[in-house]
Structure 1
Amino acid sequence: MREISPVTLELNGVRLEPLQPRHAAGLRAAASDGELWKLRITSVPEPENTEQYIATALEMRPSRLAFAVIDIASEKVIGCTSLHDIDPLIGRIEIGYTWYAKSVQRSHVNSSCKLMLLAHAFDKGYELVGFRTDIFNHASQNAIERLGAKKDGVLRHHALRRDGTVRDTVMYSIARGEWPQVKTHLEYRLARGRSC
């Protein structure tokens, strides 16, 4: 069976730990690096809402498994990411709720996290890994496309933004048959110091 349970993953100096209340101060500091909660196209928590953000993520289990992103050398929390919309029956899972401190954006961190989560999902027998982003989040769309994901389409009038407006959502995916080539591509980019 395609069982996804809390697990710790490490690669390239980055560790993914199951998100816990003890990560609150670190998440607050990471979000403050760039005041990321001010971006209307992300789900980064405001400093005063960090504990609730973590509680909500934990309440969403088993359909969402959230991770704190840790820089191993400094043991600092540098972001958050999740496996979500987990459907073991049909073998579909998504990677999302992803954000990183401004100082580590466009570094090896995103590529390393995606490589770990994709490998974990496909190793557990999932057939397809999806991604979604706001139609106006061009940086996220570019990063997902650099991974090698295919654009599935746009869901119009799909989800609320933090400011109360309704966004269109761009959907992407990587199928099991595409994974070996995507994995090789990601490893190649990481070996050459390129990010996704």
Structure 2
Amino acid sequence: MSFAVPLTRKEAVLRQLRDEIITGRLKPGAAIKDAEIAARLGVSITPVREAVTQLAAEGLIDISPNRTRQVTQVTQKSALELIDVMMVLACAGFEWGVDNLTDEHLAALRGKLDDFAEGLRHGNATVAAAAGADFSTVVILASGNRELQTHVDLVVTRTLRVLALTAESEVWNVWLDGYREVLELLERGDRSGAAGRYRQIYRDYRRRVEAMLFDEDH
């Protein structure tokens, strides 16, 4: 019988704050005040402080020398740099894992792609983002390099936060169409072609982000 392991207070606060930052409910530059967050979430200050420390390590919160904290500011330069790093890491993992894919892996990819599309259809960008990230994870973990996946996860989280995309954003189509074509190539046995198409997703994604407007005063 399966069961869900309860979250600790730190994990619950961490998940909540990370989601608020990624979705843009906590805006870039917003002050992070432990007591206010603790009162809002109904927890003590300790798990809030622990969660903030973790989010600072993930690059989502900036802690200044005088110990004030705020949600990390967004610039086009920072967004493009994150995408460049994500492309290097994820594409390496995909290329290392693609030759190890089995029929079970392909079935898992189909399931993640369906979840991705379903999340977008229902207007749930959080669900769509998780399923999209899991699509890549299936292949990267097939490489056997879990350390690489850890770093990819971190950069993906920061990139999602930079863009804070709604489910209606056309940027999702870069991933949805790309993943569909990648899976079609894999199902035809063209693994080299799939790796090339996967890398193209990042090039197209970068171009879309480069064309987006950012508040460079930050």
- One fold, TM greater than 0.5? no
- Which protein has the bigger helix share? 2
* TM, length-normalised to structure 1: 0.31
> Which structure: greater strand fraction?
1
TM-score by length of 2: 0.29
Structure having greater relative contact order (Cα 8 Å, sep ≥ 6): 2
